[in-house]
Amino acid sequence: MYVRRFVRYILTMAIEAVLQQVLKMPAEERAELVERLIDSLDSEVELSAEELVQLDEAIADADRAVERGELISADDVLAQMRQIS
């Protein structure tokens, strides 16, 4: 039980570290990264048109937050992702 929690914690921290670095990237590079990530899921996940719109809105929200100098916590990002899925 504790090992699973520890692993989950480590993964969450790793995601947060990667996210913080990605948010510092220019918008074009982030968009390319998102496209590559989505392409890697194409064989596994099919998104509806509504889900794609929600994803686009979430990305735009993140871009605006970065432009305002705000950082988005991993918890907030994961919560938004859970709402979309």
Select the more confidently predicted residue: 79 or 31: 31
SS3 for 41-72, per residue? HCCCCCCCHHHHHHHHHHHHHHHHHHHCCCCC
Q: What is the pLDDT of residues 7-40, one digit of tens each?
A: 777 778 888 888 888 888 888 898 888 888 888 8
- Look over the chain and give the mean of its residue pLDDT values, rounded to a whole number: 80
Q: pLDDT class for 1, splitting at 50, 70, 90? A: low
For the chain, the structural domain boundaries read: 2-84
